[in-house]
Amino acid sequence: MLRHTVRRLSPTSCYLNPRVVEAEYAVRGLIPSRADEIKADLAAGRGRYLFDSLVYCNIGNPQSLGQMPLTFHRQVMALVDAPFLLGDAEIVARMPADAVARARGYLAEIGTGTGAYTESFGYRFARAAVAAYINDECRGVGPSVTVDDICLTDGASTGVKVLLQLLVGGASDAVMVPIPQYPLYTAQIALLGGTKVPYYLCEAEGWALQTPDLATAYERCVAESGATPRVLVCINPGNPTGNVLERSVMEDAVRFCHERGVLLLADEVYRENVYDARRQFVSFREVVLGMPAPYCTETMLVSLHSTSKGVIGECGRRGGYFCMTNLPRAMREQVLKLCSINLCANVNGQVMTALMCSPPREGDASYTLYRREYDGIFSGLKERAELLARELATVRGFSCQPVEGAMYAFPQITLPAAYAARNEELNSKEGRRLAVDTRWALELLESSGIVVVPGSGFGQERGTLHFRTTILPPLAQMKRMVRAIREFQEGIYRQYA
């Protein structure tokens, strides 16, 4: 006889982990979902829209917007995927010698089993390529990275998840995140049931990190929630802000982390995406190692990188790595266990990560083509970054900080008070709680086909409104986007101001 309560589920009510329900990820949230519906409508000839295609500016996904892959990287990957091609002299003769040699070299390391699980941290040869890349960058400052310090991941997202999981067991563990931030961080904190400690970037200073704010945020967290901050997240160059951190600020952040035993999680996936000639990317590892003891020997740092951004743009490959500096042995053992539960990162992402860290060099057969492709993509990104920030700043009610780096503009928008009031009315009529900037982004989408993400998805100072757009659409689409936003915003002012 059953003594428990039988619990039937209706199609509309069911038990769900409340942490999952709470988590939010605006980059693929309400606005992009509505965009997909409209896209399906357009394809089926349904509905009445004033446009016949969408411009997706919601996600940093360059190849979906026409950016071409780097040829050398794809040649090598294809040969590693299908090693029997190397047995065909005719095919080999039609490939550049360095791509063939590289593929043979990788295959010699992998052996016959190119479809096998790798070690939990990834192929040793790929980790060696990453280590060489990092050591090269640090130019002899501090001790060298070894393969044991590197873990290959399915994109940087997996690295974030592993590191946050390692240190966040519940509400008593806090994570300090910049606001605005890439919403993966707050989503993972919500999923882990951890405490979020925001520190606000200063918009008026080009979204600079002001280090006294770190201590203030830490103190407030301890006093108000009783939770202990375990991790400080720094995104450099910033997403969505585009800010590039200065060395002195980074040193302050390192001191802050060291004094409090906080692990510094450095999200450096946009390390190659610096467009402002007055700025230079410096890695947190280089900063830490360049400081005197005990900072250089004790500050716990994990640096993340990815094949998704930069110039390579291989998002779908899900390649990436994290590099551990000064992590205690007990912590490393748990990192290894977590990675072993995941078995390993996908092998194509691993190969792509190795290639990203060791592209053709001057003198190699593929170098000229590689250089041309790389420079072409980079200068296109730079041009659009400048154009977009410049143009958006001239839209009524907008102010836009320069896009020093990364792949986004994050303009502030002001809207007539009547627009906000109307949003309240619509919300109560529709029975939902859209933020004003979400309403704005939704109406922009529905009237013009432009897909952006509202600032509330990234976090913003109370009382301010923003949106994030990528700099990725080709020039023609970008011009359409700016024009559409301008007209939309003018319309709002005509109607509500």
Restricted to residues 51-70, the positions that interact with a second copy (CB under 8 A) are 59, 61-69
DSSP of 138-200 = HTT-SSPP-GGGEEE-SHHHHHHHHHHHHH--STTEEEEEEES--THHHHHHHHHT-EEEEEE
**At its nearest, how many Å lie between a second copy and the CB of residue 429?**
23
**At its nearest, how many Å lie between a second copy and the CB of residue 17?**
4
Q: Does 237 help bind a second copy (rule: CB under 8 A)?
A: no
Q: Does 390 help bind a second copy (rule: CB under 8 A)?
A: no
**At its nearest, how many Å lie between a second copy and the CB of residue 493?**
34
Subset of 395-454 contacting a second copy (CB under 8 A): none
Query: Rounded to an integer, what distance in angstroms lies between the CA atom of residue 151 and that of residue 390?
Result: 39
Q: How far is CA 359 from the centre of its chain?
A: 22
Q: Judge whether 61 and 155 are in contact, CB under 8 Å.
A: no
Query: Rounded to an integer, what distance in angstroms lies between the CA atom of residue 129 and that of residue 125?
Result: 6
Subset of 306-365 contacting a second copy (CB under 8 A): 308, 313-318, 328-331, 334, 337-338, 340-349
**At its nearest, how many Å lie between a second copy and the CB of residue 383?**
20
Reported as type and span, the H/E element at residue 149 is none
Considering only the stretches 4-12, 239-247, 353-361, 458-466, report the one whose residues sit in contact with a second copy under the rule CB under 8 A.
Answer: 4-12
Beta carbon nearer to a second copy, 345 or 485: 345
Which of 48, 94, 139, 429 is close enough to bind a second copy by CB under 8 A?
A: 94
In the three-class reduction of DSSP (H, G, I as helix; E, B as strand; rest coil), residue 353 is classed as helix
Instruction: Scan for tokens 């060791």, then name that residue.
Output: 358
Q: How far is CA 241 from the centre of its chain?
A: 12
Subset of 454-483 contacting a second copy (CB under 8 A): none
Q: Site for a second copy (CB under 8 A): how many residues?
A: 110
Which of 54, 96, 118, 388 is close enough to bind a second copy by CB under 8 A?
A: 118
Beta carbon nearer to a second copy, 88 or 487: 88
**At its nearest, how many Å lie between a second copy and the CB of residue 271?**
19
Q: Does 216 help bind a second copy (rule: CB under 8 A)?
A: no
Q: Does 14 help bind a second copy (rule: CB under 8 A)?
A: yes
Q: Dihedrals φ, ψ of 462, to 5°? A: -55, 135
Output b/e per residue, 456-481; b: 16+ Cβ within 10 A: bbbbbbeeebbbbbbbbbeeebbebb
Beta carbon nearer to a second copy, 99 or 436: 99
Contacts of 93 (CB under 8 A, 6+ apart): none
**At its nearest, how many Å lie between a second copy and the CB of residue 9?**
5
Query: Rounded to an integer, what distance in angstroms lies between the CA atom of residue 130 and that of residue 132?
Result: 5
Q: What is the DSSP letter of 147?
A: G
Subset of 140-179 contacting a second copy (CB under 8 A): 154-155, 157, 165-170, 173
Subset of 191-210 contacting a second copy (CB under 8 A): 191, 193
Beta carbon nearer to a second copy, 165 or 211: 165
Q: Does 28 help bind a second copy (rule: CB under 8 A)?
A: yes
Q: How far is CA 154 from the centre of its chain?
A: 13
Beta carbon nearer to a second copy, 193 or 416: 193
3-state helix, strand, coil split of the chain in percent (to 5) is 50, 10, 35
Subset of 32-51 contacting a second copy (CB under 8 A): 36
Subset of 257-276 contacting a second copy (CB under 8 A): 259-261
Which of 84, 139, 277, 362 is close enough to bind a second copy by CB under 8 A?
A: 84
Query: Rounded to an integer, what distance in angstroms lies between the CA atom of residue 68 and that of residue 313?
Result: 9
Reported as type and span, the H/E element at residue 251 is helix 247-260
Q: Does 222 help bind a second copy (rule: CB under 8 A)?
A: yes
Query: Rounded to an integer, what distance in angstroms lies between the CA atom of residue 107 and that of residue 120?
Result: 19
